[in-house]
Amino acid sequence: MLNKIKKYFSHGKDHFLTVIIKGLFWLAPIIAITIIILWIYENINALTGNMFELFGLNPQNHPFLWTVIGVIVLGFIAYIIGIFVETSLGDFIQRIYSKIPGYQTIKELVNIFNTSKSGEKKVLVVLIKGFTTQGYNIGLMYSTKQSVVKDHYTVTLSMTPIPNGGYMFEVPKDKIYVIQEATFDSNLQYLLSMGVKSLAEILKIEPKNIEEFITIEEYLKK
C-alpha cells in the first residue's frame, strides 16, 4: 500500500487531486447510507455520547482549528480511499453495500457531479444542433455509451439557473461536437450565470468556428 501511495504522489498535483475526488465520490454514497442506518439505529436504541469528550477535548472551543484539522484528515482519507477503490477489496465492499436498498440510487445521484470519471463514464460538454435552424445548444454527455438507437448518444440539455432539471435527447454521432476545454464545473458556471458570462469567457478561450470542434466519433477514436 505504501509503495502505491508513493507512486501516486510522484505523478504530480493534478493526479493527486483527481485521486482525492475519486476517493470522495466513492465514499459519499457509502457515508450517506451508513448515516441513515446509524440514525435509525440510534433512534431505536436512544443512544447518546460524544467521542471528543471521552478524551477531554471540546471542538466548540476552537471551531476554526477543528474545521481545518477535519478538512486535512478528510482529504488524506479520501486520497487513500481513491487508491483503495481500484483494489479487489474496494470492489468487494462496494458489492456488499450495493445489496442495501437505496445505495445504488444515492451512488448514481452523487456520480452525476463526479469529475474524476474516465472512459465511457467521463462527463463531456458538447454541442448539438439547437432548437433553431442555424444554432447549437451546449449540453452534457454523462456517458459515451451508445444509446438504444445505433450510432446515437444521449445528450442532456440542462435548465438555467436551476441545472438539476433539463431534457434528454438521443442525437446521431455526426451531430455531436465535443468542447474539449470544458468540464462539468465550467458548464455549471455557465448555467448559473444565465448567459451573462459566455462559455468562451469562462474557459478563457477565443470563440471558434463549429468546424474547429471535433465530433464525438473523432473524440472516441483518439
Contact 94, 28 (CB under 8 A): no
Higher pLDDT, 35 or 119: 35
What is the per-residue pLDDT for 52? 47
pLDDT (0 to 100) of residue 64: 61
CB 144 within 8 A of CB 120: yes
In the chain, % of residues over pLDDT 70: 65
pLDDT at position 183: 86
Rounded to the nearest integer, the mean pLDDT of the chain is: 75
Residue 124 CB partners (closer than 8 Å, separation 6+): 140, 141, 144, 178, 179, 216, 219
Identify the band that residue 109 occupies on the pLDDT scale cut at 50, 70 and 90. Answer: low
- Under a CB-based contact definition with an 8 Å cutoff, are residues 103 and 144 in contact? no
Q: How much is the pLDDT for 42?
A: 58
Q: Which pLDDT tens digit goes with each residue over 28-84?
A: 777 776 676 566 555 554 444 454 445 455 555 555 666 666 667 767 777 787 777
| Most confident by average pLDDT, 11-15, 95-99, 167-171 | 167-171
Distances (CA, A) of 135 to 10, 30, 129: 45, 43, 6
- Give per-residue pLDDT as tens, 151-181: 999 999 988 877 777 889 999 998 999 999 9
Give the DSSP letter of residue 173: G
CB-based contact 179:126 (threshold 8 Å): yes
The C-alpha cell that represents 74 in the structure block: 478528510
182, 200 contact by CB (below 8 A): no
127 has pLDDT over 90: yes
HSE at residue 41, side-chain half, CA atoms within 13 A, is 6
Please report the pLDDT score of residue 46 as a whole number: 47
**Residue, of 118 and 158, whose pLDDT is higher:** 158
Note whether 19 and 73 are within 8 A (CB).
no
**Taking 80 as the threshold, does the pLDDT of residue 221 lie above it?**
yes
Are the CB atoms for 130 and 136 separated by under 8 Å?
A: yes
Percent of the chain's residues with pLDDT above 90: 21
Partners of residue 157 on adjacent β-strands: 167
Confidence of residue 216 (pLDDT cuts 50, 70, 90): very high
Residue 24's pLDDT is 74
Residue 202 confidence (pLDDT) above 80: yes
pLDDT > 80? residue 187 = yes
Q: How confident is the model at residue 209 (pLDDT cuts 50, 70, 90)?
A: very high
